[in-house]
Structure 1
Amino acid sequence: MMQQSVRDESHRDLHSEYGAVRGEHPGRVRNPVIKAEDLVWLEFEKPDLDRAERFARAFGFGVAARTSDELQLRGSRPGAPCVLIRRGSRSRFAGLAFAAADPRDLMRLADATGTSPRKLPEALGGIGVELRDPSGARVRVVSGVHTLPEVPSQQAHSFNFGSEVRRTNATQRTVRAPVTVERLGHVVLQSTTYRETLDWYLEHLGLIVSDFLYNEGQRDRGPVMSFVRCDRGAVATDHHTIAITLGPRDRYVHSAYQVSDLDALAAGGEYLLDQGYRRSWGIGRHVQGSQIFDYWRDPDGFLVEHFSDGDLFDNTLEPGWAPMTASGLAQWGPPATKDFLGIGFGREAVDELRAIAVALRSENEFDFGRLRGLLKVAAS
């Protein structure tokens, strides 16, 4: 019988009350090839760039550049564009890019993977190494890209909390208008080779796990989801920069973009509803990561999230462990919707059902036991 988890004071009231038991995944490797600095952009292909731009502006992005074949979206903070959308025959997720902490890291990574750094398009600047993770996602690691200047953003409200008074002789008003996206926060990917894919990011990019989730009753089989952050030493970073989950097909799940505070998030959501866009799930506050969230479907079916007030960890905190349940996804808010969980009647759910049939007949980590765990999550 598996050893009972031991209470670890470093986890209590932070992200998970219990840590690992002996022999479980440590959540990091000793000598990664490099340590990536941050997630810098995501890449998509879409057939209708005009429609994509309309939603992007309503969602709160700024437009950094636009041609007949490419749309570059940005947040208000200085840095590279955070979303690149190229014209394509169909809508699809095309990859992600991390920033190297030092240009020399690109050579180190290239030598370790048998690749070569190459110049990026002039509109982006800099150089990059292009890789594929075990699930097939294209991963660029870049350095020296152009930095867009900061643009005005929304100021966070000043709040009165009980006897702590910060605002007097002033009202609290939030305009129902597009929220201002500040930056890209994270991306969530599903993989049929979850453990192999997770280890690839830890070994090649030096990422470290903040939290593991496992199927109830199957902890001895290992985790099925991990929330993974960049390792910047004593500098605290987002609770997760990428999250990886086991599933019947390799796919993009969602991406998240930071906004200033709850009021901006809520008013921006009201504006999206006024424009006829569809909320998938929200508003609520997550458990892992603690962020306030609001999920939307864009016109191409991609799930995107506004978030605010997320956790920041340095590299001293070890991974937490918790069972995966639908009810455990939020501290407060409405129950997770069928659309968010991918069990509704839309195209995404149909594709997932087809993928289950294929995955169960193929060599991968998604088997009947994992399917039972996934169904239990959906029913929870």
Structure 2
Amino acid sequence: MSETRVHGADARTAHQDLHSEQGALRGEHPGRSRNPVIKVTDLAWLEFEKPDLDRAEVFAHDFGFATAARTERELWLRGTFAGPPCVVIRRGRASRFVGPAFRAAERADLDRLARATGTSVRESDVPGGGRAVALLDPSGLPVKVVHCAGPLPALPGQRPLLLNRGIRSPRVNAPQRPPREPSRIQRLGHVVLETRVFARTLDWYLDTLGMIVSDFLFLDGQRGRGPTMAFVRCDLGPVPADHHTLALHLGPGTGYVHSAYQVTDLDAIAAGGEYLKERGHRRSWGIGRHIQGSQLFDYWRDPDRLMVEHFADGDLFSEDTEPGWAPMSSSGLAQWGPPATRDFLGATPSPAKLREVLHALRGDNELDPARLLGLLKAVNS
């Protein structure tokens, strides 16, 4: 890496020396909007289509969801925490991600957003009722902003295990036997999206939904061209928020990469993973601990090969934490754990992937040969 590092007091001032050895250089992206239209408070749910709702529900229960509602054409899945469902799956001809729905802080925010974007506020079909504004981000992905009328009540959850920690040993005469069962999902944590128009898409989420960046990643030797990945959180002021509710990265594709769901602790991740393996499901990568966000993670593929993640113990940042900056690399994805797999990185060659790359290079977007080569280098570094 050839760029100048920020050291000492300047680095601590830039990002409080909390989560990255580098802060922003002069003139780099500030990671937030000066005057956003609204400030969303969280993801509400994610929307998918699948041809076989029965098969989708079987995997969902193995993964740790509970069914909130089911009709002939819709399946709503939830976690144990109170709030709206985490996922809606509608019957469709092919398995695909439709888009995310974000929560508005107040009903009036929907009116403000609709006026600013030339759209309208409509009834939402979420169980319990609510209102929604439907938008398109610069990638062409449908995005909803919702205000839900009746949140679902909490369900019984998994208890974290009582751990002996050397000098503090509260567990005596009580053997530890976590059951081999699904990791009970608590809530939806984040979604990761790929886009060919990274800068425009990032600014849209900051300007329109009031989100702020926790960490930027850049390509080795190309920091001057700006970041190529951003971990973006909700701006809840002094209230701590997840390190990222949304992550965006530049690439030849458009849309869904994976989504992540919080569980109780490491034992829930591990025991739930053994349960998934016994049920014949395929692990993509894990178990490990991330660097950006610090989450314990375990990635799986559903029967239609969509990637989903169990996570626990993620970072929480308040509004005053500024973005960190780090080079993008596959080895920089985890503090510990097995090396990132080619399946997780999306690096397995295929005719479809080649067509996607060729189409992106010919289009009007931010992916040029230098960027593509930088991304390939990052995958293999």
Of the three residues 157, 160, 164, the one matched with 2:164 is 160
Of the three residues 80, 94, 99, the one matched with 1:95 is 99
Aligned to 1:169: 173
1:9 aligned onto 2:12: yes
Distance 1:270-1:2 versus aligned 2 partners, 3 A rule: closer
Aligned to 1:72: 76
User: How far 1:4 moved relative to its partner?
Assistant: 4.1
The CA deviation string for residues 314-371 of structure 1, in whole angstroms up to 9 with x for no partner, is 00000000000000000000000010011125xxx54332211111111100110111
Distance 1:59-1:240 versus aligned 2 partners, 3 A rule: same
Within a 5 Å distance, the mapping from 1:1-380 to structure 2 comes to 4-7=5-8, 8-9=11-12, 11=15, 14-121=18-125, 123-345=127-349, 349-380=350-381
The CA deviation string for residues 154-210 of structure 1, in whole angstroms up to 9 with x for no partner, is 001121112122322222111111110000000000000000000000000100000
- Rounded to whole Å, the distance in 1 between the matches of 2:373 and 2:63 is 36
User: How far 1:307 moved relative to its partner?
Assistant: 0.1
- Tell me the amino acid that sits aligned with residue 9 of structure 1: R
The CA deviation string for residues 253-294 of structure 1, in whole angstroms up to 9 with x for no partner, is 000000000001100000000000000000000000000000
Unaligned runs of 5+ in 1: none
User: How far 1:6 moved relative to its partner?
Assistant: 3.8
SS in 1 for 2:204: helix
- Tell me the amino acid that sits aligned with residue 354 of structure 2: L
* Preserved contact between residue 16 and residue 322 of structure 2 (Cα < 8 Å): no
The CA deviation string for residues 49-102 of structure 1, in whole angstroms up to 9 with x for no partner, is 011000000000000011110100000000111100000011110011011111
- Rounded to whole Å, the distance in 1 between the matches of 2:84 and 2:126 is 13
- Rounded to whole Å, the distance in 1 between the matches of 2:142 and 2:295 is 27
- Rounded to whole Å, the distance in 2 between the matches of 1:368 and 1:214 is 16
The CA deviation string for residues 8-59 of structure 1, in whole angstroms up to 9 with x for no partner, is 2264663211100000000001110000011010000000001100000000
SS in 1 for 2:362: coil
- Rounded to whole Å, the distance in 2 between the matches of 1:354 and 1:262 is 39
- Rounded to whole Å, the distance in 2 between the matches of 1:219 and 1:111 is 37
Q: What's the C-alpha RMSD, in Å, of the aligned pairs? A: 1.3
Q: Report the TM-score, using the length of structure 2 for normalisation.
A: 0.96
- Rounded to whole Å, the distance in 1 between the matches of 2:352 and 2:365 is 18
- Rounded to whole Å, the distance in 2 between the matches of 1:344 and 1:86 is 29
* Preserved contact between residue 210 and residue 235 of structure 2 (Cα < 8 Å): yes
SS in 2 for 1:36: coil
- Rounded to whole Å, the distance in 2 between the matches of 1:86 and 1:100 is 23
Distance 1:362-1:122 versus aligned 2 partners, 3 A rule: closer
* Preserved contact between residue 190 and residue 252 of structure 1 (Cα < 8 Å): yes
SS in 2 for 1:201: helix
- Tell me the amino acid that sits aligned with residue 366 of structure 1: L
User: How far 1:120 moved relative to its partner?
Assistant: 1.1
User: How far 1:121 moved relative to its partner?
Assistant: 2.0
Q: Report the number of matched residues.
A: 377
Q: Report the TM-score, using the length of structure 1 for normalisation.
A: 0.97
Aligned-residue sequence identity (percent) comes to: 61
- Rounded to whole Å, the distance in 2 between the matches of 1:184 and 1:205 is 18
Distance 1:161-1:56 versus aligned 2 partners, 3 A rule: same
* Preserved contact between residue 12 and residue 18 of structure 1 (Cα < 8 Å): no
- Rounded to whole Å, the distance in 2 between the matches of 1:91 and 1:129 is 24
User: How far 1:249 moved relative to its partner?
Assistant: 1.8
- Rounded to whole Å, the distance in 1 between the matches of 2:261 and 2:179 is 20
- Rounded to whole Å, the distance in 2 between the matches of 1:70 and 1:235 is 35
Unaligned runs of 5+ in 2: none
- Tell me the amino acid that sits aligned with residue 12 of structure 2: E
SS in 2 for 1:142: strand
User: How far 1:243 moved relative to its partner?
Assistant: 0.2
